[in-house]
Structure 1
Amino acid sequence: MAGRAIPSWAAGDQSPAPFALRPVHGALAAFVLTLPAYTPTLSYFSEAPQASALSDAFLFALLLGALLVAVLMTVRGLQTSPQVRGDGILSRVAVAAYVVGIALFLVLLFQGQPVPLLAILAGFVAGAALPMLVTTWARMVAVPMDRALLLCGFVGVVVSFLGWVLSLLPVHLLAPVYGVLVLAGVVPLWVGARAPGIDAGSPEAAPRGALRNLLSVTWLPLLGLAVFAFMTTVMAHSAFGVVRATFLSGVLAAVVVFGVCFLWGRKPLLPWCYRVLVPLLGAVFVVLGAFPAGTFPREVSVVALYLFYLVLAMLGCALFLAVVHARELSARVALGFGVGVVALAALVGCILSQVLQVTADFSPWLTVLTGAFIAVLLVFLGRTAWDELGELQEARAAAAVAEVVPERTPLADSILVDLPVRVPLEARCAALAERFGLSPREAEILGYLARGFSPTYIAKDLVLSVSTVRTHVRNIYRKLGIGKREELIHLVDEE
């Protein structure tokens, strides 16, 4: 986001920019649909001659390869500057490795005799390429939060519908169709290699505590995405015995996401989802799951469970796209960390269900896991409410002091004046930022401070952690040579 004006997704008083579908978004849907780590994908080939002998070994190796490379990407990204020239070559190597690994696995599925070692090799090669492919895709389609959420909804609809269609195809027809979709999902990565200059605004090396700041913003949807990956690995549910719950819930999750973006959501979008949408979906699952087994509401609770985690997964994916778009952190670090967490969760599920075989039915454990997740969510919401209560008290104290001073408050400026008066305020902030050499991000936050917004609000609006915003505020005060908000307002008014 460096070097650009406040985007529409960050400004609470503006309408979201329109979202335009492009052919590359269809290719992205094909990539997600054919991901082997998406467990329903492997189930498509359950009738292949060697599916039962090779699928588990291939999936285990793929997840292990993805985890190891994701960790390596994250560590190197935190220690070194983002690679610009070498990323194009690396992306093409990853595309080639991924296609070779998938193609080899498809061939092995239809051989007369199982070859587990080659299946493991194919899985590891394809999995090792996945973090780089996901990172390249994120660079190509990164957009602000509201448009990213719409994109995730579109991908969810396409993947759910086409996934259901693929599940109906006979296995001899499925293999070539799947191969074509795999190629369609990686061709844009080969042609485009990388989005030019996408990391140009990132720091030469990740700032200290960058990973902690990323986690403080993304932990809730990332945890939901990880639980969803674990859940789809350990078992598959059907909805009313007709269709996979992932397919039906995927369409419903997309409908919910579209409703959030167009009808119900409030700015800033992410906090509204945390406080209203996610708790509401969790409550629906808890209520429906309380009905006796065999009843219709209990059957619906399976769909509600997948809906809960799929909405969280879409929020997580959209949030990572917004983080990449904001350029606060290298795409390698952000996506390497995200892919690593999800791969680890899926790998744990694979070990528990296929290697250790701890139980034949994970349904009760998934209910307990969901209950624990909702409990964590409630604790998070309670802590957030407590922190905001403290900030409200501080704001009241500041207002009481401001009443003694016969001058305007920035909050009054933001509420009472119309647009023609706001423009000079923005111009004064821009001139002040240029005169004192503020960075683009610091200049952006200065505009928020001049209107009286708190660090917590700024963090939520810009999808940053509160600690990151406060670090920027300290740097702004240091460069301006001031020590408190009143001095900042005085500087802005004098400009």
Structure 2
Amino acid sequence: MSRETEERSAQGAAGSLLAALGRTPLIAAAIGTYFAWWNLYHDEGFLFLPNYFNQVESCVACYLGALLACVIVAVLRVSWRRNIRGWITGLAIAQGVLSLLFYGAVFLHEAALVIIAQLLISASFFVMLFFLVRALASLPLSQAGVLIALSVGLYGLLESLVWAITMAAPFLSLRMALHLLLLGGGLLLAWNAPGCGDAGPVAKTPDDAGCFRIPAPLVLHVGAYWFVFGMTHALASGVIPIGHDKLLPCYLGSVAASLVFYFVFARGDRTERIWPRVRAAIFPLTMLSFLLLPFANSGFTFISIGFAQCAMDTYLAFYLLATLAVARKIGWGFMRTAIAAVLLAVPFIMCGVVAGDVLKVSLPLNALFYNVLTVLAFALLVAGTFWVGDDRRAGLVWGLEKKLSPKRFEDEETAKRCAQAAEKFDLTKREGEILLFLAQGMNAAAIAETEVISLNTARTHIARIHRKMNVHNQQELLRRLKEL
């Protein structure tokens, strides 16, 4: 191939990549803009109302809004499947009205009304987020990972920009105008983002796919991390006096999270093996963010709070990517997977927030307090991270990859012959299962991978089957089965 031909090929590949990207970055821009819009309401409620109980009501309202969004999406799925753009428009109008309600409540100093407004704003945001992330479900996982990283970075940058403007001109009317500007920008981006206006299901499998049992190690993993993040979030409000000086490191921490997530999970082909990286990156980042909390009030506020936000947003980005990956692996539609992900995470983070607030008002925040909490957090995170075992086991547990069993094979004749052979040659129940795998043409390595056992264990089972059936290899075993 000549140099000129190679250059043409490279240009063609670059052109194909640009064509493949198309307007998909608009999805990331819409997600980032809406995230910034939503989180600013979470922050500003406790800034303007000094009688807030250290942010706990705001957090609980936001997460209850996520649960309400799940109900709305599930109950009204027929409606939004027919007209998603109509839903997006209706949500934007409702969000504009709720924004005015929020600032009216702030102006009147009505804390209860502020909390109600935050709950409804959160519900509308999570419904919108469902539509936006759903658009990512039709993209390759590697591309979706890059877009998630971009959205988290944009979310932090937009919040930093709003913070800088409002610090320079601290007027309530300006804040309201900036929030409405973000809302309008998010609507415009969502309206033009590919996939957000599609009426049909995005996922390759229907949303009414069969049930799937969530493994206990996965529940422990999700519960441990979100509980620790909730507790860290609540404790940070106790260590640092609530005010504008705490917000900028949070926003910059989100920007840092986008970079960490991209280099650890989304760059190149890393989205194909995201589960082992939880152990390598998420665990030390989360643990370090918790260890830095006691230093927040001793001159390291910026680093401590920023690190805590970076850890939480990195895990959030991973959780979004994992939701897309799991939906593809287990054959669920995106709606069911997303709702399951929310229902699995929200109760634990709410418990963490409440626990953190109760502890910080009940006990002195001294060295003993943090030492005990650190030990508990470390034990939770170790159990949630390492209980799953090696990387192959982690892929099965965290990825919810279905473990094949002999019952899944549809070849009734083969299954019947294997059952006869097991009875005739006095095979154990386990050896009978392995025999069915062998009859389907699987070798020792494939059986070990499917059954999550060691290669030596698989070979031991096969050797016992060969000895009992008086065969020496798989070909002889297949012939012996045909003779039955």
Q: TM-score range by the shorter chain?
A: 0.5 to 0.7
**1:148–1:318 contact (8 Å) kept in structure 2:** yes
C-alpha displacement at 1:219, in angstroms? 6.3
Equivalent of residue 104 in structure 1, options 101, 104, 122: 101
Pair 1:246 & 2:250 matched: yes
Pair 1:134 & 2:132 matched: no
Q: Distance in 2 between matches of 1:30 and 1:310?
A: 15
Q: C-alpha offsets along residues 245-296 of structure 1, whole Å, 9 cap, x if unaligned?
A: 3223223222222322477986742223123112333564577679898486
Q: Distance in 1 between matches of 2:353 and 2:129?
A: 21
| TM-score (normalizing by structure 2) | 0.63
Pair 1:84 & 2:81 matched: yes
1:156 aligned residue: 152
Equivalent of residue 408 in structure 2, options 448, 456, 475: 475
Q: Distance in 1 between matches of 2:395 and 2:286?
A: 27
Structure 2 counterpart SS, 1:205: coil
Q: Distance in 2 between matches of 1:457 and 1:309?
A: 21
Equivalent of residue 485 in structure 1, options 423, 437, 449: 437
C-alpha displacement at 1:234, in angstroms? 5.7
Q: Distance in 2 between matches of 1:331 and 1:371?
A: 37
For the structure 1 residues 65 and 252, does the alpha-carbon distance in structure 2 shift closer, same or farther, using more than 3 Å as the test?
Answer: closer
Residues 188-199 of structure 1 mapped to structure 2, 5 A cutoff: 188-189=189-190, 194-199=197-202
Q: Distance in 1 between matches of 2:27 and 2:294?
A: 43
Q: Distance in 1 between matches of 2:296 and 2:62?
A: 39
Residues 126-275 of structure 1 mapped to structure 2, 5 A cutoff: 126-142=121-137, 143-168=139-164, 169=166, 170-171=170-171, 172-189=173-190, 194-199=197-202, 201-203=204-206, 205-209=208-212, 212=214, 220=221, 224-225=225-226, 227-229=228-230, 231-232=232-233, 235-236=236-237, 244-261=248-265, 268-275=272-279
Pair 1:465 & 2:400 matched: yes
Q: Distance in 1 between matches of 2:291 and 2:236?
A: 23
Q: Distance in 1 between matches of 2:112 and 2:28?
A: 35
More helix by share: 2
**1:100–1:122 contact (8 Å) kept in structure 2:** no
For the structure 1 residues 152 and 226, does the alpha-carbon distance in structure 2 shift closer, same or farther, using more than 3 Å as the test?
Answer: farther
2:120 aligned residue: 125
**2:232–2:290 contact (8 Å) kept in structure 1:** no
Pair 1:321 & 2:324 matched: yes
Q: Which runs of 5+ in 1 are unaligned?
A: 1-16, 389-453
**2:142–2:270 contact (8 Å) kept in structure 1:** no
For the structure 1 residues 266 and 303, does the alpha-carbon distance in structure 2 shift closer, same or farther, using more than 3 Å as the test?
Answer: same
| TM-score (normalizing by structure 1) | 0.62
Larger Rg: 2
C-alpha displacement at 1:25, in angstroms? 1.8
Equivalent of residue 280 in structure 2, options 276, 299, 302: 276
**1:65–1:128 contact (8 Å) kept in structure 2:** yes
Q: Distance in 1 between matches of 2:271 and 2:33?
A: 31
C-alpha displacement at 1:316, in angstroms? 0.9
C-alpha displacement at 1:139, in angstroms? 1.0
Counterpart residue identity of residue 150, structure 1: V
Q: Distance in 2 between matches of 1:346 and 1:262?
A: 25
Q: C-alpha offsets along residues 192-225 of structure 1, whole Å, 9 cap, x if unaligned?
A: 7543433563346241235x26x86686357535
Q: Distance in 2 between matches of 1:139 and 1:292?
A: 38
Counterpart residue identity of residue 162, structure 1: L
Counterpart residue identity of residue 173, structure 1: L
C-alpha displacement at 1:31, in angstroms? 0.4
Aligned length: 394
Equivalent of residue 31 in structure 1, options 31, 34, 40: 34
Q: Single out whichever of 97-106 and 82-91 deviates more from structure 2.
A: 82-91
Structure 2 counterpart SS, 1:337: helix
Counterpart residue identity of residue 484, structure 1: L
Q: Distance in 2 between matches of 1:258 and 1:250?
A: 12
Counterpart residue identity of residue 197, structure 1: G
**2:67–2:343 contact (8 Å) kept in structure 1:** yes
C-alpha displacement at 1:135, in angstroms? 1.4
1:66 aligned residue: 66
Percent identical pairs in the alignment equals 16
Q: Which runs of 5+ in 2 are unaligned?
A: 1-16, 416-434, 444-473, 476-484
Q: Distance in 2 between matches of 1:22 and 1:131?
A: 20
Q: Distance in 1 between matches of 2:295 and 2:357?
A: 31
Counterpart residue identity of residue 138, structure 1: V
Q: Distance in 2 between matches of 1:314 and 1:157?
A: 10
For the structure 1 residues 204 and 479, does the alpha-carbon distance in structure 2 shift closer, same or farther, using more than 3 Å as the test?
Answer: farther
User: What is the alpha-carbon root mean square deviation over aligned residues?
Assistant: 4.9
C-alpha displacement at 1:338, in angstroms? 3.0
Q: Distance in 2 between matches of 1:322 and 1:278?
A: 17
Counterpart residue identity of residue 470, structure 1: L
For the structure 1 residues 156 and 332, does the alpha-carbon distance in structure 2 shift closer, same or farther, using more than 3 Å as the test?
Answer: same
**1:70–1:337 contact (8 Å) kept in structure 2:** no
For the structure 1 residues 182 and 164, does the alpha-carbon distance in structure 2 shift closer, same or farther, using more than 3 Å as the test?
Answer: same
Q: Distance in 1 between matches of 2:106 and 2:62?
A: 16
Structure 2 counterpart SS, 1:489: coil
